[in-house]
Amino acid sequence: MARSKTRIVRAVFPNSTNHYDTLFGGITLKWMDEVAFITATRFGRKKFVTVSSDRVDFNMPIPGGHFAELIGEVVKVGKSSLIVDVTLMLEAMYEEGQVEAVKGSFTLVAINDERKAVPIFS
Amino acid sequence: MARSKTRIVRAVFPNSTNHYDTLFGGITLKWMDEVAFITATRFGRKKFVTVSSDRVDFNMPIPGGHFAELIGEVVKVGKSSLIVDVTLMLEAMYEEGQVEAVKGSFTLVAINDERKAVPIFS
Amino acid sequence: MARSKTRIVRAVFPNSTNHYDTLFGGITLKWMDEVAFITATRFGRKKFVTVSSDRVDFNMPIPGGHFAELIGEVVKVGKSSLIVDVTLMLEAMYEEGQVEAVKGSFTLVAINDERKAVPIFS
Amino acid sequence: MARSKTRIVRAVFPNSTNHYDTLFGGITLKWMDEVAFITATRFGRKKFVTVSSDRVDFNMPIPGGHFAELIGEVVKVGKSSLIVDVTLMLEAMYEEGQVEAVKGSFTLVAINDERKAVPIFS
Amino acid sequence: MARSKTRIVRAVFPNSTNHYDTLFGGITLKWMDEVAFITATRFGRKKFVTVSSDRVDFNMPIPGGHFAELIGEVVKVGKSSLIVDVTLMLEAMYEEGQVEAVKGSFTLVAINDERKAVPIFS
Amino acid sequence: MARSKTRIVRAVFPNSTNHYDTLFGGITLKWMDEVAFITATRFGRKKFVTVSSDRVDFNMPIPGGHFAELIGEVVKVGKSSLIVDVTLMLEAMYEEGQVEAVKGSFTLVAINDERKAVPIFS
């Protein structure tokens, strides 16, 4: 599991913000799903698709001009599906430290070319 | 509630697909959150932010060259928060009919300029 | 014709605005053409391409932090071409009501895989 | 007028195409409007906004993997408005020569900070 | 060489700026590479790929609400590779004149379908 | 220096590829510059701007449907400027292992609000 842990740091620029100058919620979810997909694929080295995003909590806004570090981690593995927890850590540009701003989990399933579920280990 | 019901139809072009030529899950979530935000704002005519996306189920892939109709509807209203259900209906380009492909719900809260929760009706 | 009527609501965020903080005219036209394409395809359930955009009038600017509702409607049908009127209704976020901000019409033609015009009804 | 003539060459990559692998009509219009805006601004060195796009003819598709050269030219000047003709020349990557693929004209008006029309020459 | 000289003018809008309201360096490099690719392809009418970007100097920031004119020019031609100089000229919207803001050079090589280097003239 | 080391993994989807279905060189440079900017800022916790990208070598193409892991590392620190090396590691989706595909370095300078160079440590 440790090997598949995936990190993406992004700078929040105007092309990702809403008119309140905070990261638009839809972009947050897009970034989280990309991390979940990469984490799952690196874990299983199979074709994975998202079957559900489970509860995602937005604890605080992510202001423009900040960094967002997204961290994906496989937390549970079934026969053909697995769960990836994704955390978005908010980091100011000119100060040390991070706080957890958003947290959610995603379930992905391994599939073959006919889109049938296949075992992750085989 | 009926008045705030919001519809967005999108054509799935290569700029939104993954390398399997299906709509990337992250884009699906981005579109759903945008619909949820518009639906909530039209209902309450206040400043709303997403506090959580609750379970979102991806029942089938959305292939490139199809339409996706997203429908947002307020289903529950509290003092300062509300729940919006968002459904993505998949529609082939050259055939009548739609099938439910993705469904989820989003909780949004009305806030003031200091980002404190405020009553939706006041 | 009623069945093909297509609605798209968009929130105007910084990624679509010019440096006057109003919706960039080019984005307006892009959104209108997407609505025209979907409306035509839903009407005829054939492969359609835009052959011309007829006069498009921009009556007022669409400021950032507003909604734009685009409505496409088939208004005239020929043998292999049809005309779609597209209206952009401007809607403030925190007030009821819409005003017509942009209006134009687009001519699309049904084609086959060799890009020859084909009858819409056949 | 010659000094304001503006040229933009773009490569047509998958992020701009529809599912027929040709340049999406909405992107064509977006690029044309951007050229019209730059051409008008360079001519008058004032704040300009698009008031209408007049007829735009799409004579042939622009396939992926081709170049599109957009050329804007001021063709008529009134007191506070002017007309810019925009031509999109299609150019294959591995052959000399260009053909006119799309042609249209745009009317822009010079405005002040209160969005009132102002004379272009003053 | 003169025939392949390529010009692209872009308006700097919020979707390309960082949170200092200046053109994000990464977008600058993206625009420069696109110009280098088009210039090389027009010169050799072969399939070209970038093998290196040589030193690129950012002499001054490009503020939002300005124009950036990118000019690509072939300056050296070898057997299967060539060098394109790309200059970004900064132009205020409401004043005549341009200043050189960024300058760099790119080496591209002509390849065949198996990605082997091929002579530019053959 | 170790603390500022920054990693971004991206999946290469059609919105980032050219018509050869490989990552467009301009997008590669955009991603590398974003990593360089984040790495520098995390190291110095000051406002940084790119003053030059030094030689960037593209050793092999990055095909669609692969991962690209970008790693930024501060390698040299002067009074107000520093150098960040950025490496792009190519990783197949369904196999372990990475190969170095692109490598370059970027010089950034710490500035104050008047855009004057300032000491990194002060």
Write the single-letter amino acid at C120: I
Nearest to D26 among C34, C52, C57 (CB): C34
pLDDT of A75 > 80? The answer is yes
Q: E2 or C10: whose pLDDT is higher?
A: C10
CB of D32 closer than 8 Å to CB of D70: yes
pLDDT number for residue E11: 96
The whole domain housing C26 covers 2-111
What CA–CA distance (Å, rounded) separates D44 from E17?
25
CA atoms within 13 A on the CB side of E1: 11
pLDDT of B4 > 90? The answer is no
CA atoms within 13 A on the CB side of C89: 13
pLDDT number for residue D75: 96
Name every residue in A having a CB less than 8 A away from some CB of F.
Answer: 6-11, 34-35, 37-38, 41-42, 45-47, 67, 91, 93-96
Chain A, nearest residue to F31 by Cα: A10
Assign residue A68 the CATH number of its domain. 3.10.129.10
Residues whose CB is less than 8 angstroms from the CB of residue F122 and which lie 6 or more positions away in sequence, other chains included = none
Contacts of F41 in chain E (CB under 8 A): none
Q: Which residue bears the tokens 């209704």?
A: C89
Chain E, nearest residue to F113 by Cα: E20
Q: Is residue E24 in a domain?
A: yes
pLDDT of A122 > 90? The answer is no
Where residue E37 falls among pLDDT bands split at 50, 70, 90?
very high
Contacts of B91 in chain C (CB under 8 A): 42
pTM of the model: 0.94
Q: Is residue B34 in a domain?
A: yes
Counting residues of chain B whose pLDDT is more than 70, the rounded percentage is 100
Contacts of D19 in chain B (CB under 8 A): 11-14, 64-65
Chain F, nearest residue to E55 by Cα: F54
Nearest to D67 among E9, E38, E95 (CB): E38
Task: Give how far D62 is from chain E: nearest CA, Å.
Answer: 16
Where residue D122 falls among pLDDT bands split at 50, 70, 90?
confident
Name every residue in D having a CB less than 8 A away from some CB of E.
Answer: 6-11, 34-35, 37-38, 41-42, 45-47, 67, 91, 93-96
Using alpha carbons, list the distances in angstroms from residue F1 to A69, B118, C81, F39, F42: 18, 45, 64, 9, 9
Strand partners, A76: A83
What CA–CA distance (Å, rounded) separates B64 from B71?
20
pLDDT number for residue E2: 79
Q: Which two tokens stand for residue B53?
A: 């996306």
pLDDT of D111 > 90? The answer is yes
CB of D104 closer than 8 Å to CB of D56: yes
Query: In degrees rounded to 5, what are phi and psi of residue B109?
Result: -125, 140
Q: Is residue D92 in a domain?
A: yes
Where residue E1 falls among pLDDT bands split at 50, 70, 90?
confident
Task: Give how far E122 is from chain F: nearest CA, Å.
Answer: 22
Contacts of D52 in chain C (CB under 8 A): 55-58
> Stretch E100-106: mean pLDDT, rounded?
98
Where residue F3 falls among pLDDT bands split at 50, 70, 90?
confident
Contacts of A47 in chain F (CB under 8 A): 93-94
**Mean pLDDT over all residues of chain E?**
95
Q: Is residue D86 in a domain?
A: yes
Q: Is residue E93 in a domain?
A: yes
Chain C, nearest residue to D28 by Cα: C30
Beta pairing, strands E81-92 & E66-77: antiparallel
Nearest to C94 among B37, B45, B91 (CB): B45
pLDDT number for residue D2: 79
Contacts of C39 in chain D (CB under 8 A): none
**A25-44 helix and B25-44 helix, angle to the nearest 10 degrees:** 160
Q: Is residue B35 in a domain?
A: yes
Name every residue in B having a CB less than 8 A away from some CB of C.
Answer: 6-11, 34-35, 37-38, 41-42, 45-47, 67, 91, 93-96
Q: Which two tokens stand for residue A12?
A: 């929040």
pLDDT of F70 > 90? The answer is yes
Q: Do F26 and E47 touch (CB under 8 A)?
A: no
pLDDT number for residue A7: 95
Q: Do B52 and A31 touch (CB under 8 A)?
A: no
Q: Do B25 and A33 touch (CB under 8 A)?
A: yes
pLDDT of B55 > 90? The answer is yes
Q: Do D29 and C33 touch (CB under 8 A)?
A: yes
CB of B29 closer than 8 Å to CB of A27: no
Task: Give how far F32 is from chain D: nearest CA, Å.
Answer: 20
Q: Which two tokens stand for residue B56?
A: 């979102």
pLDDT number for residue C1: 77
pLDDT number for residue C80: 97
Contacts of B18 in chain F (CB under 8 A): 11, 13-14
Name every residue in F having a CB less than 8 A away from some CB of E.
Answer: 20, 22, 24-27, 29-34, 37, 47, 49-58, 61, 104, 115
Question: Count of domains in chain A?
Answer: 1
Where residue A23 falls among pLDDT bands split at 50, 70, 90?
very high
Q: Which among C9, C12, C15 is the top mutation candidate for probing chain A, defined by the most A β-carbons within 10 Å of its own β-carbon?
A: C15
Chains that touch E (3 or more CB pairs under 8 A): A, C, D, F
Q: For the purposes of burial, counting CB atoms within 10 Å of the CB of F94, is it exposed (0-12), middle (13-18) or buried (19 or more)?
A: exposed
Q: Provide the ipTM.
A: 0.93
**Mean pLDDT over all residues of chain F?**
95
Q: Is residue D116 in a domain?
A: no
Q: Which residue bears the tokens 């698709």?
A: A49
Q: Do A94 and F46 touch (CB under 8 A)?
A: yes
pLDDT tens-place string over residues D43-74: 999 999 999 999 999 999 999 999 999 999 99
Counting residues of chain A whose pLDDT is more than 90, the rounded percentage is 92
Q: Is residue B120 in a domain?
A: no
CB of A110 closer than 8 Å to CB of A86: no
Q: Which among B93, B94, B112, B121 is the top mutation candidate for probing chain C, defined by the most C β-carbons within 10 Å of its own β-carbon?
A: B93
pLDDT tens-place string over residues E40-89: 999 999 999 999 999 999 999 999 999 999 999 999 999 999 999 999 99
Contacts of E24 in chain A (CB under 8 A): 13
Q: Which among D19, D27, D30 is the top mutation candidate for probing chain B, defined by the most B β-carbons within 10 Å of its own β-carbon?
A: D19
C71 closest CA partner among C115, C7, C3? C7
Task: Give how far E106 is from chain F: nearest CA, Å.
Answer: 9
pLDDT tens-place string over residues B91-103: 999 999 999 999 9
